[in-house]
């Protein structure tokens, strides 16, 4: 009787899961397993917010598997040892999994594949969490893409995606004698319960992902404009669901296909391709999480400003749009996409702080922390990566705030101490007359910080540093 093991990682769904589907079709017995091995993800093991999400996503997929008659086993790593042990316990002759492409995941998969081959166990692997494997697309010269627009143009010439796979209606029963750790044994949620805001903001799991996708479908017409306004729910908020594989990008395409003529669909499709581009860059340049892609920035004179960094992390810079974004991040594990760019630009350009410090903070606090996206986006804003913004592109946080949060709805939500300021002064309270501040009960330096730096001075200093670096020849 053929037995197949399905190795779950960041594909925590039953629908459009080719590894699971193949196992169900190929074997009479199917053993789903999640192997907890954070050390194998070093130097980028999941941060605190990601661990919270992982806990609830595992609980959801385990429940879905149980509802179909199966059982998700939970084991501890090392992965190759845990899977080898499970092969011995079950007599499995097939192990299936969906491929991941981060450098540490590739290493882990190779170790597992080698071990299984030595034992004579067949393996089948699949692409389930990308639209196109990152090694497929190349420039005409055969090199990896480093600029997004030609990458997206090249992708448009690929054949259409095949329809998503349906979830199995039933799963074979798993022997109750097989050992499984209780989910609580992984100690994924925080010991100090700071996660109430996350629980209020999110529904991890496949059902939550599908609900979020249906909501996007209903509001897609206005997506192209609404996605830039942080005071509205104009973004998809699908990123954590995609990262943990509760939803596949192919499912997204299929769900929204009937809206393909809308400008909103075109804008959202571009965001999906940006996600693919990020993985493409990381796959071909695996050192980018620690080193700039542009070698001219290898020795860039970033400034050590620990006090300012802490103020940025806590949302206490005195720059309202920056503080609102950082407080939203701490409270919900997420930040609006436009505000992510503004806060990152403030840290790297105005404050001159190393982009890696910001990337690490986002990695620990975002529920959608994704190594490829996090790296690409921080290097893009800092001006040292693929498709990098010119050095002179420095987001003015006040102008950005006035343009995209014109009525101050976002600022008032996350900065209640400024809620009574007239909108005209809300975006730059340091410029408000004393009587206006007094009438709004705002005391600079007491109940709301004074700005930690002068924006004009910070911009001028950034321009000088970046212009000098950009003028260097590539060697």
Strand partners, 73: 33
Contact between 67 and 21 (Cβ < 8 Å): no
Catalytically annotated residue among 355, 361, 380, 414: 355
Contact between 381 and 389 (Cβ < 8 Å): yes
Helix (H) or strand (E) run with residue 8 in it: strand 3-8
Strand order across the 122-126 sheet: 73-76, 29-36, 3-8, 94-98, 122-126
Smallest Cα–Cα separation from 354: which of 378, 331, 377, 338?
Answer: 378
Which tokens hold the place of 37? 């091995």
Smallest Cα–Cα separation from 75: which of 160, 183, 150, 152?
Answer: 183
* Residue 403: CB atoms within 10 Å: 13
The answer to whether the bond into 43 is cis (omega within 30° of 0) is yes
Smallest Cα–Cα separation from 51: which of 218, 195, 264, 226?
Answer: 195
3 state SS of 123: strand
* 330 given a catalytic annotation: no
Catalytically annotated residue among 81, 232, 337, 396: 337
Distance CA 135, CA 132 (A): 8
Catalytically annotated residue among 271, 316, 396, 417: 271
Smallest Cα–Cα separation from 225: which of 235, 217, 215?
Answer: 235
Catalytically annotated residue among 232, 302, 330, 417: 302
Q: Which DSSP category does 142 fall into? A: S
Contact between 6 and 33 (Cβ < 8 Å): yes
* 337 given a catalytic annotation: yes
* 274 given a catalytic annotation: yes
Contact between 31 and 185 (Cβ < 8 Å): no
Q: Which DSSP category does 205 fall into? A: S
Catalytically annotated residue among 105, 274, 316, 417: 274
Contact between 262 and 221 (Cβ < 8 Å): yes
Distance CA 47, CA 320 (A): 26
Catalytically annotated residue among 378, 380, 414, 425: 378
- For the chain, what percentages of helix, strand and coil (3-state, to nearest 5) are there? 50, 5, 40
Helix (H) or strand (E) run with residue 74 in it: strand 73-76
* 363 given a catalytic annotation: no
* 414 given a catalytic annotation: no
* Residue 206: CB atoms within 10 Å: 23
Helix (H) or strand (E) run with residue 94 in it: strand 94-98
Distance CA 127, CA 220 (A): 27
Residues designated catalytic: 271, 274, 302, 337, 355, 378
């Amino acid at each position: 009787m053929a037995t197949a093991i399905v190795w779950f990682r960041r594909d925590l769904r039953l629908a459009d899961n080719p590894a699971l589907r193949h196992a169900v079709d190929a074997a009479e017995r199917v053993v789903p397993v999640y192997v907890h091995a954070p050390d194998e993800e070093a130097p980028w093991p999941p941060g605190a917010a990601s661990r919270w999400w992982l806990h609830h996503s595992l609980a959801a997929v385990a429940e879905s598997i149980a509802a179909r008659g199966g059982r998700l086993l939970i084991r501890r790593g090392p992965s190759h040892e845990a899977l080898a042990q499970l092969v011995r316990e079950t007599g499995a002759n097939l192990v299936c999994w969906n491929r991941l492409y981060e450098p540490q995941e590739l290493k882990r998969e190779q170790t597992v594949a080698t071990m299984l081959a030595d034992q004579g166990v067949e393996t089948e692997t699949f692409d389930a969490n990308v639209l196109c494997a990152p090694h497929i697309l190349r420039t005409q010269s055969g090199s990896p893409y480093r600029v997004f627009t030609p990458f997206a143009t090249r992708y448009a010439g690929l054949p259409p995606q095949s329809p998503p796979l349906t979830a199995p209606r039933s799963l074979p029963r798993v022997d109750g004698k097989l050992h499984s750790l209780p989910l609580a044994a992984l100690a994924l949620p925080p010991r100090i319960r700071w996660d109430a805001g996350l629980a209020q903001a999110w529904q991890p799991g496949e059902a939550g992902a599908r609900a979020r996708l249906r909501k996007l479908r209903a509001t897609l017409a206005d997506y192209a404009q609404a996605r830039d306004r942080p005071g509205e729910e104009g973004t998809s908020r699908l990123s954590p669901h995609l990262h943990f594989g509760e939803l596949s990008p192919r499912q997204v395409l299929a769900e929204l296909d009937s809206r393909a003529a809308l400008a909103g669909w075109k804008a959202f499709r571009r965001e999906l391709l940006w996600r693919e581009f990020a993985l493409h860059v990381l796959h071909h340049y695996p050192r980018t999480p620690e080193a700039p892609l542009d070698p001219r920035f290898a020795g860039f004179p970033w400034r050590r400003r620990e006090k300012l960094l802490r103020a940025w992390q806590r949302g206490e810079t005195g720059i309202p749009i920056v503080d609102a974004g950082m407080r939203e991040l701490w409270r919900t594990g997420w930040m609006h996409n436009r505000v992510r760019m503004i806060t990152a630009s403030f840290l790297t350009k105005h404050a001159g702080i190393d982009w890696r410090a910001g990337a690490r903070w986002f990695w620990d606090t975002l529920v959608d922390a994704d190594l490829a996206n996090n790296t690409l986006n921080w290097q893009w804003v800092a001006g040292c990566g693929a498709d990098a913004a010119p050095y002179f592109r420095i987001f003015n946080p006040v102008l950005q705030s006035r343009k995209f949060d014109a009525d101050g709805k976002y600022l008032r939500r996350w900065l209640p101490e400024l809620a009574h300021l007239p909108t005209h002064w809300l975006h730059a309270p340091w410029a408000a007359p004393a009587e206006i501040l007094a009438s709004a009960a705002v005391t600079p330096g007491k109940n709301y910080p004074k700005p930690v730096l002068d924006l004009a001075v910070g911009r001028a200093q950034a321009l000088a540093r970046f212009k000098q670096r950009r003028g260097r020849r590539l060697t």
